[in-house]
Amino acid sequence: MLDHNKQRPTSLPRRLVAFIGVIVPRRFRARFRREWEAELEYREELLARWDRLDWRSKLELQWRSLGAFWDALWLQRQRWEDEMIQDLRYGVRMLLKHPGFTTIAVITLALGIGANTAIFSVVNAVLLRPLPYQEPERLIRLWESNPGRGWPEFSASALNFEDWRKQQTVCEQLAAYEFATFNLTGGGEPERAAALGVTANLFPTLGTPPALGRNFLPEEEQAGRHRVAILSDGLWRRRFGADPQLIGRQVQLSGENYTVVGVMPPRFQLTPGAELWTPLVLDAALAPWHANRSHHSIHVIGRLKPGVSLAQAQAAMDILARQLEQQYPKSNAGWGVRMRAFYDWLVPEQVRRSALALFAAVGFVLLIACANVANLTLARAATRRRELAIRAAMGAGWTRVMRQLLTESLLLATLGGLAGALLARWGVELIKAGASFNIPRLNETRIDLRALGFTLIVSLLTGLIFGLAPAWQASKLNLNGTLKEGGRGGDSRRGLRGALVVGEVALALVLLLSAGLMIRSFANLQNAPLGFTPENVLVMQINLPGSKYGEKAQRVDFYNQLLERLRAAPGVVDAAAVTQLPLFSGASWAQEITVEGREAAPSDAKLSARTFAATPRYFQTMGIPLLQGRDFTEQDGGDGPLNLIVSESFARRFWPNENPLGKRFRTGAFDLFGTVVGVVANVRNVSLESEGGPAFYFSHGRIGMPALTVVARTVAPPETMTAALRAQAHSLDRDLPVYNVRTLDQLVYNAAGQPRFQTTLLSLFSVVALLLAAIGVYGVMAYAVTQRAHEIGVRMALGAQPRDALRLVVRQGMTLSLIGVAIGLALAFGLTRFIRGLLYQVSATDALTFAIIPLLLVGVTLLACYVPARRATKVAPLLALRGE
Amino acid sequence: MDYGIKLSYTTAIILQALANGYQYGFDIIDVTGLPSGTVYPALRRFEEVGLCDSRWEADDVAEREQRSPRRYYELTKDGRAALAEALKRYRALENFFVGAKKPKPSNA
């Protein structure tokens, strides 16, 4: 192409265009100038031909060439995109050029981001996502409450519930449910289905209609019309093959025909495990216990009227409770009403605290990962100083260089985020599978858009955090010095890297200490005396249907026969049955008792104790030591005098310095005095942490409960006996479901589910933190050794021993580590009290933990220093000098 | 149809000018009377969304007239479609440049 410009005189418009061209992005600049100049030139030709330098045309031409400015402005838009793509392309190239650095950085970030995403998903599902009900903030849970007896939240009695329902003014709806179980027979193996009896308005109160069919009708709460059922989606699919024709058909529940009227939507869950719902019949003819105002078995849910606050509602219900107290002093004295937001009930404090502690822990892991990558980037930036200085010298502004570095960091963070999202998906499955206990709403956990959005934000923030330090450093780079120095690092950089390592060590220590406390607490829990011997015991549950075993004698007879057969079975040492096993956290049976001779004492006016019905040999089978007196015999099951066995804590509480044998107390259920014939050791009835207060046992034969848990102590591992023992039950009644067959060991294992879960996760995170911190220390020291190789070489040449070089490096590393430990200890003293609520018999500042863990951390960092220090001792003096 | 651009009256005028054979920025400025600060950004935008293409004048033509080659713009198929749609809206435009002198084709 010819260059015509040289032949042309330069006019003002042409100079204007050349000047405006400066602000055009470089990619477009040449074309921009060429086009505008050609147009002006062409116009000059025309103008020259028509009229030489007419001032108006000239002005017009100048005005027109100013349009180039708008054109140039419009092209500005491209500049950012251009440079960004350039930065990205350059960034990708840099990352590919250093695969080692890239891999380590991405893995580190993936660990941090992945752990965060996984735990965030859980926190999101369990704590953040709104409950799947209509306007869940208006839903409340109501209890009867008896603080005097230490029962702040107790189920309500049917009669009280009915009075509430009639007289209350604060709720739109008041609904109730009661636990029930059915034997599901017909069409396949008989099975046991956990169920709820619910008032017809329960599902409307929640705002969740059945997915198929209809709701219960109010008249179906009446005896006689109550044989209708709504199934869970799971049961409907599993047992009935998701048959839509099932609506209107009949199913057999505990020997009676029920018509299926509806199927609930998938994932609907009010209480864990419930698979079907039937109308709650409060009619005393069908459920005699509902006529007793002292029988507390009803769970109440309400929907507040719009605009009514929880406090207002509570105040109104308090007044109502006081009226009932006056009206029915015998049953209601001391009983009030307590209400809580539905959410607070569904997601208990303990779970929330645990989830938040884990969330904090992964936050720490991510911070440590950030510090590590920042360190790596800084180390690399040091070797890149020359490159950066050259780029700056070539005219790249500092903002441009910073942007380049940030782009690289963000690129790394994005890669880490992608890998982290994959890790998180896997982690969530692991968490779901690993939680052997019930975390409310955990089944709703999944990596959803919100979690991915969180990952994205975390990744970008991460990139900013670890990218900022090197970029900031770069901005302070001294151009001339760097070019002259040959790219060797300065002091401020070393300071920053040291600070990062100190931070890492401090955070890692906090995590390690928390994990240490958790482990101690968990160990205490594992060593807590259970009061029974769980090894080699098989347990199974049986519930005799009322249709076939209506008489007490039939039930007693069945269990006697079954136990006899079990005891005779090969490999069985002993067998017995009880109403409720230890470590049962659900609703249990407690009774009012009156100790003989103390009826008048006001402080003992209303006492209660956990109640169990047991067959003879129960204590022996379970390995519960009999401390005094004797076990039940067959005679105790008859209608003769009532004989009772009490727990040690029961005896100590009521007869502290007396022999409890022969003492008498009256129980609410029998309304007659019973005599203490034996004392047994305390048993962890409620949980591993808690015994649940005084307990007493009576002989099963006196009432003949239909539902019992059978326990059998075996010679061989109990798992191998399952089929044989089940067969014994079926040999007596082929249609009887035998369910929840487990070993007692499993039961104990599951009871520690939540502590084990949080301890495992926290330990895992703290190990990751420890590793990352060690890598951080190693990285900094390895870098320091290369940087100081020259200095060390000179020292060696001047007669220093390898030992001195070793000491030099180790001292530098350990100084950082010890400062980190000191800060970490201070932090931990402040922070571990937040997990106090999760600890069992360990103080949040447990001396042993606080002594050992820092030593462990110091040891690991020492090791991390030692490797590079060894390398320093191998610096050959001459080589280091020649390197100059 | 979405042409990636708002079919305003100004847009339509510039498209119509291009369709009638006014191919250079300055010519379009002349014939439409629009300021250069409007015409050029519009042309860039057309090119970006594919309503027009740009090329450089053949060297020999420029050399014959002893000046630099100019950049000229041509409507693409999409550009013609966009114009057709704009004309439905602004009927008066159809005859806008009728009778105006047609510039000679420059790329012989």
Backbone phi, then psi, for B87, in 5-degree steps? Answer: -70, -30
| pLDDT of residue A562 exceeding 90 | yes
- Residue A864, classed as helix, strand or coil, is helix
Whole-number average pLDDT of chain A: 83
Q: What is the pLDDT of residues A529-560, one digit of tens each?
A: 888 988 899 999 888 887 788 888 899 999 99
| Of A12 and A493, the one with more pLDDT | A12
Candidate ranges A110-114, A140-144, A803-807, B7-11; pick with highest mean pLDDT: A140-144
Q: Which residues of B touch A32 (CB under 8 A)?
A: none
- Average pLDDT in the A500-526 region? 88
Out of A31, A37, A71, whose CB is closest to B68?
A: A37
The least confident of A77-91, A546-560, A801-815 is: A77-91
Q: Of the segments A388-402, A553-567, A823-837, which one has the largest average pLDDT value? A: A553-567
Q: So what's the pLDDT on residue A324?
A: 92
**Residue with more model confidence, A386 or B39:** B39
Give me the helices (H) in B1-108, please: 9-19, 25-32, 36-49, 59-64, 77-89
Closest residue in chain B to residue A32, using alpha carbons only: B71
Which residue of chain B is at minimal alpha-carbon distance from A69?
B37
Instruction: Quote the percentage of chain A above a pLDDT of 70.
Output: 90
Instruction: Give me the amino acid identity at A678.
Output: G
Mark yes or no for CB contact A34/B71 under 8 Å: yes
**pLDDT, tens digit (0-9, with 9 covering 90-100), for A224-233:** 888 999 999 9
Q: Residue B105: its pLDDT value, please?
A: 46
- Contact residues, chain A, for B69 at CB < 8 Å: 1, 38
Helices H, strands E: what count in chain B? 5, 2
CA distance A470 to A812: 22
Q: Which tokens belong to A362?
A: 């992964």
- Coil, strand or helix at A728: helix
List the 35-54 stretch of B: residues with Cβ below 8 A of A.
35-41, 44-45
Q: Please say whether the dihedral angle defined by the alpha carbons of residues A25, A28, A34 and A40, taken in this order, is positive or negative.
A: negative
Three-class SS of residue A594? strand
Segment A35-62 mean pLDDT: 74
- pLDDT given at position A4: 47
- Residue B86, min C-alpha distance to chain A (Å): 24
Contacts of A276 (CB under 8 A, 6+ apart): A182, A193, A195, A229, A230, A231, A232, A235, A253
The pLDDT assigned to A49 comes to 62
Max CA pair span of chain A: 136
- Letter for the amino acid at A239? R
> Which of A10-14, A100-104, A353-357, A361-365 has the least mean pLDDT?
A10-14
Looking at per-residue confidence, does B30 or A52 come out higher? Answer: B30
Residues B71, A67: C-beta atoms closer than 8 Å: no
Q: Are A820 and A510 in contact (CB under 8 A)?
A: no
- Residue A490: pLDDT over 70: no
Residue A816 has pLDDT above 50, yes or no: yes
pLDDT confidence bin for A53, thresholds 50/70/90: low
Q: What is the Cα–Cα distance from A133 to A127, expressed in whole angstroms? A: 15
What pLDDT shows up at residue A653? 86
More confidently predicted of A339 and A125: A339
Q: Number of residue pairs across A and B with CB atoms under 8 Å?
A: 72
Q: Please write the tens of the pLDDT for every residue from A166-212.
A: 999 999 999 999 988 888 876 667 788 889 999 999 999 999 899 99
Among A61, A62, A63, A71, the strongest candidate for a mutation testing the B interface, having the largest count of B CBs within 10 A, is A71
Decide if B106 touches A, using CB distance below 8 A. no
CA–CA separation, A389 and A478 (whole Å): 8
Strand partners, A537: A713
Indicate if the pLDDT at residue A698 is higher than 60.
yes
- CB contact set of A91 (below 8 Å; sequence gap of 6+): A404, A407, A408, A411
Nearest residue in chain B measured CA to CA from A44: B67
CA separation, residue A697 to residues A390, A461, A581, A690 (Å): 87, 61, 12, 18
- Angle, helices A847-873 vs A802-831, to 10°: value is 150
**Cα nearest neighbour of B30 on chain A:** A64
Distance of alpha carbon A113 from alpha carbon A366, whole angstroms: 6
Residue A475: predicted pLDDT: 65
- Phi and psi at residue A262, in whole multiples of 5°? -165, 165
Q: Express each pLDDT in A587-627 by its tens digit.
A: 667 777 888 877 655 544 467 788 899 999 999 999 999 99
Sequence-ordered alpha helix ranges (H) in A384-489: 385-393, 398-434, 449-475, 479-485
Element of type H or E holding A712? strand A707-714
DSSP string, A401-428: HHHHHHHHHHHHHHHHHHHHHHHHHHHH
Q: Say whether B39 and A34 touch across the interface (CB within 8 A).
A: no
Q: Is the pLDDT assigned to residue A640 strictly greater than 90?
A: no
pLDDT, residue A2, reads 43
**Interface contact A39-B63, CB threshold 8 A:** no
| Of the ranges A38-47, A206-215, A352-361, A389-398, the best mean pLDDT one | A206-215
Question: Residue A712 pLDDT > 90, yes or no?
Answer: yes
In this prediction, residues A372-381 reach a mean pLDDT of 79
- Among chain A residues, CA nearest to B41: A71
pLDDT exceeds 60 at position A397: yes
pLDDT, tens digit, 9 for 90 and up, residues A284-300: 777 777 888 888 889 99
Its ipTM equals: 0.84
Quote the pLDDT of residue A186: 67
pLDDT-derived band at A6, boundaries 50, 70, 90: very low
Do A205 and A175 form a contact (C-beta atoms < 8 A)? yes
- For residue A8, the SS3 value is coil
Comparing A508 with B64, which gets the higher pLDDT? A508
The average pLDDT across A57-82 equals 78
Residue A819 confidence (pLDDT): 94
Q: Which helix (H) or strand (E) holds A568?
A: helix A552-568
- Pick the closest to residue A149 from A574, A462, A608 (CA basis): A608
Cα separations in angstroms, A260 against A31, A206, A278? 79, 21, 9
Asked if B24 is an interface residue toward chain A (Cβ–Cβ < 8 A), one would say yes
SS3 A874: coil
Beta-bridged to residue A612, according to DSSP, are A697
Is the per-residue pLDDT at A859 higher than 60?
A: yes
Q: In sequence order, what DSSP letters do the residues of A743-774 get, joined into one string? A: EHHHHHHHHTHHHHHHHHHHHHHHHHHHHHHH
Residue A7 pLDDT > 60: no
pTM: 0.69
For A88-145, the pLDDT digits (tens) are 888 888 888 888 888 888 888 888 888 888 888 888 887 777 777 888 889 999 999 8
pLDDT band at A480 (very low <50, low <70, confident <90, very high): low
Q: How far is CA B92 from CA A875, B5, B97, B98, in A?
A: 88, 21, 11, 11
Whole-number Å distance between alpha carbons of A306 and A388: 64
Min Cα distance A3 → chain B (Å) is: 8
Predicted local confidence at residue A883, as pLDDT: 54
